[in-house]
Structure 1
Amino acid sequence: MVKQIFTISTAGTDPWRNIALEEFLLLNVPENSVILYLWRNHRTVVIGRNQNAWNECRVERLEADGGKVARRLSGGGAVFHDLGNVNFTFIARKADYSVERQLSVLVEAVGRLGIEAVPSGRNDVTISGRKFSGNAFYQTGDNCYHHGTILIRTDKEDLARYLKAAPAKLAGKGVDSVRSRVVNLSELDETIDVERVREAMLAAFAEVYAVPCRELLPTDLHPDADAMIERRREFFASWDWRLGRSLPFDISAERRFPWGGIKLQFQVERGRVEDAGVETDALQADFFAALPEYFLGAHFTREEMLGALNRAIAAEAEGDAAVSTAPVAGLADDLRDFLTEEFF
């Protein structure tokens, strides 16, 4: 049961430090509490845990313009952040974690600004069918977070300049059409700015949970918080984490499903899988991050590859499935069909 809620905001706009702070809060969230963390990044493309940065954004162009690439812990797709966007993260232990309740805070906050919003699809919040907030989720052990964007005055030209749209997402749609389905809150009411949205989120958070609320400092959770966060910032800023290795996979295929797009890649030598890779914007980040290991050493035959996939699916079912979203109907069957139809 939630007995107390905490808020924390940061004035810093370095994405690597902000993500490090988010992780610190996740690992140190007290029992019977929920933390609302509000933060902003300066000109950043944030990619999902299992995505290829080079496929998702124009890295050289972004960095030449003074921007940064960041990789988060959660799954989902690439997003563009600038100072016209506010990011939120709800952090709680599993017993106190409720995506429905957390989303109600966002809907209530926008309602306080005179705008009616509704959750839509697998991870969006929309206004009259136009997306202003994309959400993603992560769990480690008993600790969970739900984070997302709130577009207020984001530069849509920069969004289109730095992000690459996957061909499967653009099928039958022009770039302008895709851009038109994203809306800034300021387009609906020009008086809405970052500070009004912050205030609305804090007020809605207190109203929805209706328990004592106070501001939080990282050092309230651990005396060495600053040093711990800085060490993790170095990790999140590293080339290996952000941009990763690029292997010359010799067999690959990709397909898009209602739960997300996926690209499977294999290096096969002497009939065995020597290496494997997965790129996906699916929300089930841990499952897809672990999936390549199950294929290693398997004979590249229909029977052994399906067996490896089924072991991965069984391991996920036996473990503590992600609490972030309802089970995705048909995901296992979709993967089996994809594997057999594309590779065998």
Structure 2
Amino acid sequence: MITYKNKSIIAEYGKSMKLILVDIPNFEPEINFEIEKKILEIGKPDSFILRFWQNNPCVVLGKFQKEEYEVNLEYIKKKNIPVFKRFTGGGTVFHDQGNLNITFCKEKENILFSKYVLEEAKGITEIILKGIKEVYKNCEVKERNSIFLGEKKILGSAIAQKNNKFFYHASLLINSNLKELKKVINWEEKYPENTRSPIKSQRSKVTNLSFYTPLTIDMVKEKILKNFLQTLRIEENNVKKIYNNDFFEDKK
């Protein structure tokens, strides 16, 4: 568990900081990744941005990965499943509408938990963990800043620092098609030895949160949002909610 060394800083932020909540009901990956880029542009020093989003079936590679080593190319071609590459690191994930994606973005200098980027990211993961624990308690943050139920992974995360922003991605398995996931992701134990050291996905057994307790994605979003507001000490009247693309179109 992260010890909040900067409690006084978080308290001070809560008096003046705003939270921009982005929850646009769109499942098209191309649009969703464009929104991610826009988030980097709209962030301001007095605001944190929290986004919830879902995709239709697709594969998402980490910034430094190669699809030929991570994905069953023959299968995705047959099923017409698109592949995208995000600008954060980390491993390859399969998205569908049973998978909740979580984005958190802030100015890099607005330190919440630690000046060390991995500890800062762990602090964000633990906020998400607190929300998940309100619906199912037997989960914890383990290696590589992931959340596990026992030995099975339900959430992976990745980070980037870009445009003077700290940018955090997480992918939470709630009611995903795990059979399809296993067919899509290429579970090779080793990369070919002659590769130029691309970042390998770390393989873990996975499960869905919904296998353990009855819930909906909206319920999980509500719990996670509540814990972001509580931890960052942001009042409800300092939350700006964005449910359509108009805001982003105005920023062009």
TM-score by length of 2: 0.78
Correspondence 1:185 to 2:209: yes
Distance 2:232 2:251 in 1: 30
Identity of aligned residues (%): 22
1:5-44 matches, within 5 Å, as 5-44=19-58
Report the aligned-residue RMSD. 2.1
Distance 1:145 1:116 in 2: 28
Give CA-to-partner distance per residue, 1:212-263, whole Å, 9 cap, x none: 22213665467244xxxxxxxxxxxxxxxxxxxxxxxxxxxxxxxxxxxxxx
Pairwise CA distance, 1:27: 2.4
Distance 1:26 1:117 in 2: 31
The change in CA–CA distance for 1:223 and 1:108 in structure 2 (over 3 A counts) is same
Could you say which residue in structure 1 is the equivalent of 2:155?
A: 133
Pairwise CA distance, 1:193: 2.2
Distance 2:184 2:249 in 1: 37
1:329-344 matches, within 5 Å, as none
1:220-239 matches, within 5 Å, as 220=247, 223-225=250-252
1:258-273 matches, within 5 Å, as none
- SS of 1:95 mapped into structure 2: coil
Distance 1:37 1:56 in 2: 27
Could you say which residue in structure 2 is the equivalent of 1:87?
A: 101
Distance 2:77 2:220 in 1: 29
**Higher Rg of the two aligned structures:** 1
Compare relative contact order (CA 8 Å, sep 6+) and give the higher one, 1 or 2.
2
Distance 2:140 2:101 in 1: 18
Distance 2:245 2:130 in 1: 27
Unaligned runs of at least 5 residues, structure 1: 170-177, 226-344
TM-score by length of 1: 0.58
1:291-330 matches, within 5 Å, as none
- SS of 2:91 mapped into structure 1: coil
CA contact (8 A) 1:74 1:138 kept: yes
Pairwise CA distance, 1:196: 1.4
Q: Which has the higher helix share?
A: 1
Distance 1:95 1:132 in 2: 30
Q: More displaced, 61-70 or 211-220?
A: 211-220
Distance 2:88 2:100 in 1: 18
CA contact (8 A) 2:146 2:153 kept: yes
Could you say which residue in structure 2 is the equivalent of 1:207?
A: 230
- SS of 1:122 mapped into structure 2: helix
CA contact (8 A) 1:38 1:89 kept: yes
Unaligned runs of at least 5 residues, structure 2: 1-11, 112-119, 192-202
CA contact (8 A) 1:104 1:208 kept: no
The letter for the 2-side match of 1:207 is Q
- SS of 1:101 mapped into structure 2: helix
